[in-house]
Amino acid sequence: MFLEWQVKNEEDGLLLRTFLKSKHISKQLLTAVKFGADGKIEVNNEEQNVLYHVKTDDKVRLTFPTEQQNERLLAEHTDLEVVFEDDFLLIINKPAGMASIPSQYHPTGSVANFVKGHYENQGITSAIHIVTRLDRETSGLMLIAKNRYAHARLSSFLQQGLLKRRYQAFTSGTLEEEAGSIEAPIGRKDVSIMERFVTPEGKYAKTNYEVLMRYNGFDHLAIQLETGRTHQIRVHFSYIGHPLIGDDMYGGDQVLLKRQALHSCHLHLVHPVTEEYMAFDLPLPEDMEQIIQKSK
């Protein structure tokens, strides 16, 4: 995999390393290219070192070294529901019940396993870079970077607010306000490696919400996160006394649904290479839609 640029008038005379830095090539990534077995820095089809002074109209090509794959990660083959894919990004619609990554006792059946199989089918040799992880029982849009450069840029965009996710959820009971925010720090419970709770010692967390529709026994919400803490939406609504329907870990009733009623419905971002704005939307999954139809 490689990136190419043509040197502009205003870039004439820059050191090659300065030029590459302006293209968001980190020092760490540049080192990997310089010392990787098949990494290359070329100007006009000739290898150059980073002290070369670029000239107007020079063609600079950066070839990334082959990434080290996790040999312990088992490749599995299934039909992933691909929403978008190019040389840098993979966006899928993750079904509920599928973990993002494997665990010690569940080494198969995760998104990472299936993405590795997907890459193998295409002849792609890359590590798995999950940018927006979802809980096992949460459905919807999930973003994976196809190389370390895209991953680094997308992580930066996430911090800058150039990459945003929105969710829809069903919360038990009736919320007092039709729109609002929940600000409460979240930490991990000492007695559990999974469960989180609101605690003064936790990390700052903020969740914005709006009621889309009210039904008998639950509200249908649109949610946007200001922060990305583990289980944030689930913890925050449980904290205010309105746990997600189906979320037995945080007090949700499972009469209507056997998993938390949470769906990643919207994703927008700036592409890590072209820098074009991209937006993706998904409707509610069938199990959540059926609850609405039955409640009308």
Of 12, 79, 135, 248, catalytic: 135
Rounded CA-CA distance 255/132 in Å is: 29
Identity at 130, one-letter amino acid code: I
Say how far apart CA 15 and CA 43 lie, in whole Å: 12
142 neighbors 94 (Cβ within 8 angstroms): yes
Give strand ranges (E) for 146-261: 164-172, 179-183, 186-188, 196-198, 206-215, 218-225
In this structure, are residues 206 and 138 in contact, taking their beta carbons and an 8 Å threshold? no
Q: What is the DSSP string of 42-104?
A: EETTEE--TTPBP-TT-EEEEEPPPPPP-TTSPP------EEEE-SSEEEEEEPTT--SS--S
**Can you state the angle between helices 148-160 and 27-35, rounded to 10 degrees?**
180
Q: Are strands 262-270 and 139-145 parallel, antiparallel or unpaired?
A: parallel
Catalytic annotation present for 281: no
Find out whether 182 and 206 touch, Cβ atoms under 8 Å: yes
Query: What are the residue numbers of the active site?
Result: 135
